[in-house]
Structure 1
């Protein structure tokens, strides 16, 4: 190995020359030394083997390589450079003038191709300068592609790449690492109330804070929306992670001065550990995300580690998801109906449709177990369509029997976001020939808070058709009542937690139930209480002014055969005649 240098004190371009002909190297070196545009420092290697061994050396700016190197060629060196992820430009020199070879070398990754008989100071200088400039531009483009344009942090792609490399290092050194998933609590409120430009400023501020809060060896990325990830490398144990996570929660959660206002912010964090929670990057990310979901259930500003219990729930959730797909397609689902009654007369005035899953091995699976999984997986859309169609089919069957029975059907927020929901409702009501006024859609408060102009138009259209719209679980969601003035509503449903959650004979929260009833009266909305478990519940809620209710004190949810027999004996004549209590 031989090195030639220029005079001291001048900026130099370092060139690695791989040439097995000593005389050719001398000519190349002289051409570079005579350049008037730049100063070059050259290092000479005369064989392929030595060239491969120094490829990972980053002390040079460009490589000049002879195409023929004994038994090897420039193609082999280009291949080895790609395998080693060498980012320095490689210029190939050869005595051949074949155009095909030129094209092949460029496709193989060469920065340029120079015929040896044309080598001159000017040609070498121009080729080297252009190769370095192109490579620099390519690297900058690659850097931008791998960076979040808003915060300047890494994006998901580069985070996954860093994570895989960190896992490989941890496996060799038998060390540990942690993957952190984090998002801002109530970030949507910032966008909705102050605008997306303020939300973007907040995300930039949070990204900057995160960079400052973690160690230099850690890697921070924004993977989308308000979601950030942090890779904690070389961790000794859970205590180290807890210290860093607590520091992040405190540091990021400081009041944020943004656009002439100060925002109170908080973050929720989920953590997965290597090797305890997995040996593959995507698996760790999945489990950190699941831990984040768990931490958000604890309230703003919490963190949660992925645990064995979460692992069991993950496996069980995947099994339920697979089974639910089969259930939808193979008639394992069944609708039960819980009567809604007039609290003064105890007459049945309608029913609520409730889905049940008859698993061939596990028996009846509770909706508490499969509805959340159906919602997360997207299966809630085909499941919801099955429920709505089955309810309308049953309404038609009761109509044929002479019963006019109003039916309430629960609708998930995800169903409403599905573009085909509105058309499906219209098609189903028309298909079974049911009276639209007998159908009620029960929606949660979340739906109304997130409703845009398109959703408002849909609600108005449905209501103009006669379909009733009610709020389910009222009082358990958002505190803002503004949406009650804007959304077309017919009924408010008092959540069971305010009626019978504490297990006492009396109403659990009489002040809240009375406030909801007064609110409904002021807005001229019907109100119904669920969760009536005792005679005292029914009596007290009636005395407060609520005339409708449902619960185990009156009837449990019943299968079709049982509810039909009940309707035959208990349904009021006024309903049979077509009069519906409103």
Structure 2
């Protein structure tokens, strides 16, 4: 029941303010609602407001709104109330961040507030809508943790490690104290995965993380960069010998066999060590040199460490060779697109495809994207490479549409490609050139790309959407983004990263996160694609919780266009 009292020296019944219908609406509202006079005195409060604040609805009436703030803020807030009364302005939800309300029991509750004005039968008053944001903040915190920590080991992930490294570098150069990086790669970890299975491999990675962490100091940073690759930041060393001593301890910790599921498994690793400022003074170069040193340790027989030296140029020459061969492939051919089917979870029908770049070199053979994409990004070849991918995918989508099998084709955009000023114009020209229906093209961008410059992203995405293409947020959950920006971006689809899909049948924390993402996406009228589905139980989970679409080896790996068409043709035959 809504209780109202006008507080100007006399009290009256609630019927003097609102009729019974309005009262019922206010009483059932999911948000807290208050009516406040121009002096900041509460005239009305609904039951939701009582639940949020810890006061009864009757007790709130007659209190100043400053009751929800710490005493130190009362004077300033009262002045803001008077200012708002003199210059009223409607304020919707979402305008101010990090608002909180002090409950009666002293607990701070995160809230969002909307303000508007209304005319009562006697005078003007302010209507305050208060939304409890506890659940949203909890989800944001969980997603932020997932975005900054490795989902398997709980260690700092690659993105967060770079933040630690950049801060440590600035401090090291300012104080003229050296720091060291130790890049560790497990030896022959692929054999463990192949011989014992990925579940055992994951347990090995957890064991490795625990052993490495036990060796390090509290000031040191341990991160998992991905796969079986770990990295250690030693922010304060006196000399190189300090870092080599730590490297020896890490290798010794790995030297003990691990007992996993009744199997005694021998562990080992190779470490590349690099020192700042002796070897380099920027993060990118240090990491590159650490990588060179680590491969030198591998070549030396594994199970050891190598300290970077200027002679380690062989790998750099290899990268230069790859760069030249990639440039030649762009000019003469050698690149091709494979297409991984995107499948409707309920019907099992192919409803789209993700275009994935593949490269076969006549001299070097098959070269994995993980090997040549970083070289393309570092050399600037990523822009013509991205142009070729976009052009080829538009041409293929148009061909499939003319053949009577129109399919949505997803195109991954690199960070540099996404920041091109003429991106929308170039895409529009290619759609027109090939006669590609715009709705058959979906551009995929990552969270980190989108959040690098939110305003620029918003403007560019709107420009792209005007062409009629779709926008998918790729690898969702691996890069932290504000829910407020997610709401403002013209996104049509979320893609949940395989890192969260792989363990959903085994780990409740990941299952909970995937359920939360699905609920969030559907509440925002976005469809969801799950990546990396390899097991039937993963698909069953996704089907049970309303995921729209999936892709992964459970259905098919990425295929050349002709094989993809054969797969699509088989599907059509089965339909007939």
Q: Bigger radius of gyration, 1 or 2? A: 1
